[in-house]
Each structure stands twice: as C-alpha cells, then as structure tokens.
C-alpha cells in the first residue's frame, strides 16, 4: 500500500505537514505572480519520479519546450523520465469552455494509462476563466479532480493564481480542496520577501505560522527554523578551539554540533578567536567555512598570517573556505540561501559567521532573530559546530538577549582598566549541558595568537570596566572562605569567579 504521506521534494517543507501531503488528497497551491508556484509543483512531481511514481503535468499556460527548459535550470530533468515512459506533459493552452469536459476526460485517461500517482494542474485559474460561473469551477474540483484522487489514489496539486492586493480565502475552490498552501509576497521596508503559509491540511497537524523561503538554482527552500529537524542525539565529542586556556575554561573545548556566541566590544579580539577556531580545525583535517560580513577575504588571510597561521595554504588544500558578503548587497532570504548552498557544497565541520551584528543593518529585531535562528537550526541539524561573533552594545553584555537563548554557549570578551592599564579579559556566561570555568580571566593577543592566563583575582568592579584592587586583608579573608566552602558546594552562581567582586 505504501506510505500514507507523499514527500513534496521541497527542502524543509515536509516537516511542516507531518512528513508530506496526505496520499490521495487534492491540494490547492495559491499564490501571487513570481512566488514559485510552477517550481513548487514541479519539485513535487519530480520527487515522485525519483521515487518511482509516475506523474503528469497538465499545463494551460506553458508549452512543453519552455517547461523543460525552465525546469532544467533548477536541475529537474523531466525529459529523461519522459523517455522512460514515466512522465507526461499534457499541453492544453488556449482552451475554451467548450473543451473543458474533453480535457478532463483526457486527464482521466492519461492518469489511467500511465498509472500516475501524482498529478499537477497548472493552472485552475485557466479552467475557471473558461467557465461561465464559480459554481462550475467548484463542481470540477469537487467531482472530476476529486474522483481522480479518491478512486485512483492520485495526489493532485492544483495551482491557482492570486493577483497582488487580492486576499486569500474567498474563492470557492479553497473551501473544497483537502489542503491549501499559500505563497505570497510581503513588502517589508521596501523589500519584497517571499512567505509560505499552510492554510489547511485535512487530517494533518500543521505548522501554520508563516515560513520564509527562497528560490535558488535548486528550486524552493524553506528558510524558517520550523523546516529543520532537531537532532535527537547530542555528541559528547569536544572540538578544541586552538586556544589552550579557553579550552581549559570549557573543560575540553566545544561540543561537536553546538553553537557558540563570542561577544565583545570592537577591538577585543572576536575575529581572532574565530580564526583560531577555524585554523585549529584545518590543522586536524577538519573542514572549516569562515563567513565575514564586514572584512574582505585578503584582510582576514593577512590577519591570520600575523599569528603564524598559514590559512592561505589551508584554502589551497581545500580544508578552509573564506567568503565575504556585505549584507547591503543581498536580499536577506537569498543571502541565507547562499550560505546554506555553500555548506551543502563544501560540507564543513566547523563554520564561523563574523559578525552577525552587521546583519542588523538590513534586518529589524524580529527579522534578525529569525535569520540567526534559521541558520543555527540548519547547521545544528547537520551536526556542524558553529561560532558566531557579535559586537556588544553599550547597554548590554550580549548583542541581543534573544540571540543568547538561541546559542548553546556564550563567551564574552571585554576590555578592563586595571591600575591605569587597559587589559583584555574573557568570561564564559553560558555553556549548555557542560561544566565550565565561571571565573574572569585575562588574555593577550600575541604574535602566536591568543594566550589565556590565570583568573583575575583580588580585584573588584571588573565587570564595570574599571577594576579596583581589594585590600590584602579582604583578599585573604575571601581566600579563607573559599577554602572552607569549595566552589562545587556553593552551586552555580551563573557569574563571577569565586574571588572576584563585581
């Protein structure tokens, strides 16, 4: 009998509908011009062909040659399956109302002779325009196409056009269809953004919130976090950062498949920490992808060479890819798709995004968080270890309170003035599911990279940026208390080192 669900072939979509469309249902795909309706339906049909299900595409608006040419551009070779006798394109352009009944009969005959399990009608709008009234179109969808799906076990995808400015939910076919998927354009701050929403799907628990999606050289891809599986198992393997003292603070390094935010004011060394993470992976033959939103590639390679890291050789050896994207030059959804395509093609084990703060120039708060969450979710779903850098604002310890809930670990870098000298410090605010050093440590950036030293003890006011030395008697008293009450008996204070007063 086979599965009760039909995979759509749309990356990230099946998870929104419990694994795919219900087999044998009639699904209405409605959308504005240019939202990818033909591409969506073609991917649905092609997925069936790949899995051994014959399919038919009925076109009222596009000829055979144009269809094959356009689909080849996104990697769908329908001509191959046509030669194998598994696919047919029924071209019915220019039909009048006198020919509708004949066309429906032809479709039924084609489905029967081919043994098709998937059928696309492009578009239902062309059928309704050839009929005298809306009641007739409703009857066609409910009886003729419904009969094909119910009696033949065929899953039918019907395309319906919606002009800009016309609200969804008012046409009769939307009430008759078993499922309705809407594709639309939204104007957000002068940018047209594509959004997908599942209006209904009978017998299915669906994710009904709007989903961002993009159209690339592989068709439609769902970008929203809802489209990705949450890994059921978490790796216990740790990846070293290349910074000995930081690995010590993290009790061995970062868990494989985890996400880490390195935050700090400009000049605190965020990019250096991130470069070390990528270079250390290359030394261990682990592929790394470094994405910069602020600095050109050559500048990053030069910076790495200052510390004796031959990142250029790692690039030549295909262990590292360094790319630079200026956010203003890209639409946000297309940028996210480009990043995912890079990940798919290069298959890195480590990835850095430096700095996500630059994305705020093109995204408002809720868009920014959705973008970051979407990227982190997609990377974690494939087991990639990701490091994000972020510029700390003047009013908070991390770039965004929302961002801190998305990532597994937060490493904060800061400048602190101690007795007239500006020094750098690092503290781990968060390490999900892992013990970690809660103290504030000084670090230096030397000709060999980052060197993390001992905890900054016997000082107070460190987190304010201006430290004051605690008197010797007070310091000795604190150390005495620590001897009586060890740190593991005091619990997780979620903040300072046991000898630091803030």
Place of tokens 């910076």: 303
pLDDT > 60? residue 404: yes
pLDDT, mean of residues 253-266 = 94
pLDDT > 70? residue 279: yes
* pLDDT (0 to 100) of residue 51: 95
pLDDT > 80? residue 272: yes
pLDDT digits (tens, 9 = 90+) for 85-112: 999 999 887 655 556 777 788 888 899 9
Place of tokens 């009944």: 101
The H-or-E segment that residue 380 falls in is helix 365-381
Q: Where does residue 368 rank: exposed (0-12), middle (13-18), buried (19+ CB within 10 A)?
A: buried
* pLDDT (0 to 100) of residue 399: 45
* pLDDT (0 to 100) of residue 396: 46
Q: Judge contact between 388 and 439, C-beta under 8 A.
A: no
How confident is residue 464, by pLDDT bands cut at 50, 70 and 90? low
Q: Which residues contact 473 (CB under 8 A, 6 or more apart)?
A: none
Lowest mean pLDDT among 239-253, 280-294, 396-410: 396-410
Q: Judge contact between 457 and 475, C-beta under 8 A.
A: yes
* pLDDT (0 to 100) of residue 156: 93
Q: Judge contact between 7 and 47, C-beta under 8 A.
A: yes
Q: Which two tokens stand for residue 294?
A: 């602020």
- Angle (CA) 55-56-62 rounded to 5° is 135
Q: Which two tokens stand for residue 22?
A: 């219900």
More confident call, 312 vs 145: 312
pLDDT, mean of residues 348-366 = 89
More confident call, 133 vs 407: 407
More confident call, 265 vs 291: 291
pLDDT > 60? residue 400: no
Place of tokens 């107070």: 460
Place of tokens 């510390």: 307
pLDDT, mean of residues 249-270 = 94
List, in order of start, the domains of the chain with CATH numbers: 5-227 (3.40.50.300), 238-416 (3.40.50.300)
Select the highest-mean-pLDDT range: 65-74, 140-149, 449-458, 463-472.
65-74
Describe the crossing of helices 365-381 and 332-346 by its angle, rounded to 10 degrees: 10
pLDDT > 70? residue 498: no
* pLDDT (0 to 100) of residue 415: 86
pTM: 0.76
The share of the chain scoring above pLDDT 90, in percent, equals: 50
- Angle (CA) 254-350-319 rounded to 5° is 135
pLDDT, mean of residues 329-337 = 86
Average pLDDT, the chain: 84
- Angle (CA) 46-48-50 rounded to 5° is 70
């Amino acid at each position: 009998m086979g599965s009760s669900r039909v995979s759509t072939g749309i990356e990230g979509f099946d998870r929104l509908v419990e694994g795919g469309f219900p087999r044998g249902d009639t699904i209405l795909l409605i959308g504005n011009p240019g939202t990818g309706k033909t591409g969506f339906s073609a991917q649905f049909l092609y997925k069936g062909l790949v899995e051994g299900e014959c399919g038919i595409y009925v076109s009222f608006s596009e000829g055979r040659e144009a269809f094959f040419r356009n689909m080849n551009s996104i990697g769908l070779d329908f001509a191959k399956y046509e030669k194998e006798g598994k696919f047919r394109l029924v071209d019915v352009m220019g039909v009048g109302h006198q020919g509708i009944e004949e066309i429906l009969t032809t479709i039924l005959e084609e489905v029967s002779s081919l043994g098709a399990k998937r059928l696309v009608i492009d578009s239902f709008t062309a059928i309704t325009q050839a009929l005298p009234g809306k009641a007739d179109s409703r009857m066609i969808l409910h009886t003729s196409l419904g009969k094909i799906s119910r009696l033949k076990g065929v899953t039918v995808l019907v395309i319906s056009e919606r002009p800009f400015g016309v609200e969804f939910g008012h046409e009769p076919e939307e009430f008759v269809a078993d499922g309705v998927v809407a594709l639309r354009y939204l104007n957000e701050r002068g940018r047209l953004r594509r959004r997908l929403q599942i209006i209904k799907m009978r017998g299915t628990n669906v994710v009904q919130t709007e989903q961002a999606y993009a159209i690339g050289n592989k068709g439609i891809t769902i970008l929203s976090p809802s489209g990705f599986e949450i890994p059921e198992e978490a790796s216990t393997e740790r990846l070293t950062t290349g910074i000995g003292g930081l690995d010590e603070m993290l009790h061995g390094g970062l868990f494989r498949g985890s996400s880490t935010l390195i935050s700090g004011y400009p000049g605190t060394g965020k990019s250096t920490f991130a470069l070390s993470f990528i270079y250390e992976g290359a030394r261990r033959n682990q592929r790394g992808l470094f994405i910069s939103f602020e600095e050109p590639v050559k500048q990053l390679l030069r910076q790495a060479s200052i510390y004796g890291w031959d990142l250029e050789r790692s690039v030549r050896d295909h262990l590292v890819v360094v790319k630079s994207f200026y956010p203003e030059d890209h639409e946000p959804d297309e940028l996210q798709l480009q990043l995912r395509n890079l990940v798919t093609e290069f298959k890195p084990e480590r990835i850095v995004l430096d700095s996500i703060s630059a994305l705020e120039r093109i995204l408002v708060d809720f868009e920014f968080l959705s973008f970051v969450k979407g990227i982190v979710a997609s990377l974690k779903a494939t087991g990639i270890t990701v490091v994000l850098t972020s510029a700390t604002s003047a009013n908070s310890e991390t770039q965004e309170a929302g961002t801190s809930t998305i990532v597994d670990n937060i490493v904060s870098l800061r400048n602190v003035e101690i007795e007239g000298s500006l020094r750098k410090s690092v503290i781990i605010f968060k390490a999900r599911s892992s013990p970690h050093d809660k103290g504030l440590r000084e670090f230096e950036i030397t000709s060999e990279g980052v060197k993390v030293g001992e905890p900054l003890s016997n000082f107070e006011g460190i987190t304010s940026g201006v430290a004051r030395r605690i008197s010797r008697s007070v310091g000795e008293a604190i150390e005495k208390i620590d001897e009586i009450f060890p740190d593991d008996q005091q619990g997780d204070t979620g903040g300072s080192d046991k000898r630091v007063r803030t």
